[in-house]
Chains A and B, each alone.
Chain A
Amino acid sequence: MKIRQVAALARLELTDEEASRYEEQVGQILHYVEQLKAIDVTGIEPTAHAGALFDVVREDLVTGGGLTREEALSNAPMVAQDQFRLPKVVE
């Protein structure tokens, strides 16, 4: 496994020590899960969740009850002009 590449996909900036430790430990876990490759799953449908297999629908109406802007921003590390403030994205 290319640990740096996976960590970049997960937006995790690892130290060198972390990268080598996780590479070894995750490698051991992946080795263990190899056992699934020996199981015959021909024609078996995947299970994404164990809930009952039907959709829940409701009237397409605005129901309200969400957070106010103030509540939504109340835990933000940085706020400017009633919005989440981020580091500069565009030069």
Chain B
Amino acid sequence: MINRNPQLDEQGALQHLLTTEGLPASILLQILDTAESFVGVTERDVKKVPLLRGKSIFNLFFEPSTRTRTTFEIAAKRLSADVINLNIAVSAQSKGETLLDTVNNLSAMNADMFVVRHSQSGAAHLIAKHVRSDIHVINAGDGSHAHPTQALLDMFTIRRYKQDFRKLRVAIIGDILHSRVARSQIHALTTLGVPEVRVIAPKTLLPRMVERLGVHVYHDMTQGLKDIDVLMMLRLQSERMKGANLPSQEEYFKYYGLTPEKLLLAHHDAIVMHPGPMNRGVEIDSAVADGKQSVILPQVTFGIAVRMAVMSILAGQSVARSAE
């Protein structure tokens, strides 16, 4: 039995942001458009707006992360919210408290929003299902399932550089199997009308029936990069580099690492993206990462604006609700 999309309310508006899957293009575009207005804010001297004044946002990181947590924290602070960072990987859970107990305790502290990262797929859905209806949940990465704000900032970046999604060929390259980023990117790209999304990886790093997500599968960079406008590299976790997934870092780099030579196979003005942190010399050559086609640093900047947009849309909705 498939229920209503759990991240939308009865009116079809965004209640939580858990995944890009199943979200209509109108909501994705609303987030991107709202983010445009925040890019200006982040470039000002006084980088604050009072939209979320008095709101409490809890960063619940059940899995270590510096970068994502920091960007959420900056985004919340620029919206004037109070931010509480909890590094739960080393606190309550290690004392045996369950995920929902932790969440219920924090809800009792009058939280307005949870930003959740967890090593298990589905953790954010679970929390969203059990929190009070006035609390919003943002998934900041759950297992191999979803990382919607990363995908949205990628979409924002693509739109900035390439304008029309409907004319693009996009390739996602690397460890698709374990990547929550790739899954969220695929759903966002196909929803926004990108006509051709390719995944390029050895068979050990591709999930079964991945083509059902609407992508074309390639195992060879030479064929896969032909006529590509956007290259989305994925981070290869170091623990995947040995053992049964891949024989060695060197062999991976030789066949799937993005070098200036391989980049020449793509469209001449293709852009190169990476969600970070990068493994230079493993999935990407420094000459590409720092080259003129790289938009990796702008991605980070836009990430703050996109997260501000998501938070303000979710919070704005509860303002509208309490006014009802």
**Is the A/B pair a real complex?**
no
B residues apposed to A, CB below 8 Å: none
A residues apposed to B, CB below 8 Å: none
